Amino acid sequence: MYIIDTHAHYDDEKFDEDRDELLTSLSSHNIGIVINSGASMKGVRDTIALTEKYDFVYGSVGIHPNEVSELENGEAYEELKELVLKDKIVAVGEIGLDYYWDEPDREVQKKHFERQLELAREIKKPVIIHSRDAAADTLDIMKSLHAEEMGGTIHCFSYGAEMAREYLNMGFYLGIGGVITFKNSRKLKEVVEYMPLDRILLETDCPYLSPEPNRGKRNSSLNLPYVVEKIAEIKNISAEEVIQTTYDNARRVYGLL
């Protein structure tokens, strides 16, 4: 039984100096599988390379809402459709809407969110959803395109219990990471208390969102025990139960062997 990090960005330049050393150290810290998430066309290509180099790294392939202008180029979209079929690519993502940065135009974001949801349906893979300050539009699009038929994860879940209920009712899992350890994360703590353990996935979003006590520093999968401990505290269960159940969850949703 080991920890599965279901959302990381080890292709990020913040890992350029020690990527191999860090990744090869994970197994000795009980991190057994990492799913690296593509966010741009370069990130997607680099994710494929990581899955080919490391047997414990799997990938998700998709274009982040703030990068979807790349998909206005038809050749890029065709390349994406080919790469998502590669071995060890377990999901389409991260895809969605981001109104915090509000770039590109919201209609462009919506168009490519819908296209990538349809791609996931076509190839029968789950999705990894990014939604920031776009709760209503994200849910509306997912319902209108019947995203429950693909299933997947709401990555870095940041809304309240009411929105959590909507996604749980659609069969989605919620990705929980370092934010759960923050003092000002009352709303997320309420969600974790409310939701069943068998719908939680552990994730880092590294190099971002390091948990306490390392908040503000570069994040990595090595910090996931802090997330495990906080979930165990909220649910009043053992850390071992959190690890076992989230391990089972990740294998189920992403078809990991």
Q: What is the pLDDT of residues 104-121, one digit of tens each?
A: 999 999 999 999 999 999
Residue 69 is given by DSSP the state G
Mean pLDDT value across residues 7-30: 98
Tell me, what's the pLDDT at 73? 87
Domains identified in the chain and CATH numbers? 3-254 (3.20.20.140)
98 and 132 Cβ atoms separated by less than 8 Å: yes
E strand segments, the chain = 3-8, 31-37, 57-60, 89-98, 127-132, 152-154, 173-176, 200-202
Q: Is 245 helix (H, G, I), strand (E, B) or coil?
A: helix
Alpha-carbon gap, residue 52 to 48, rounded angstroms: 6
173 and 156 Cβ atoms separated by less than 8 Å: no
Mean pLDDT value across residues 153-173: 97
pLDDT at 195 over 70: yes
Mean pLDDT value across residues 207-225: 98
Pick the closest to residue 115 from 151, 75, 160, 68 (CA basis): 68
pLDDT at 257 over 80: no
Distances (CA, A) of 212 to 17, 181, 225: 24, 6, 11
pLDDT at 1 over 90: no
pLDDT band at 74 (very low <50, low <70, confident <90, very high): confident
What pTM was estimated for this model as a whole? 0.97
Residue 90: half-sphere exposure toward Cβ, Cα within 13 Å = 24
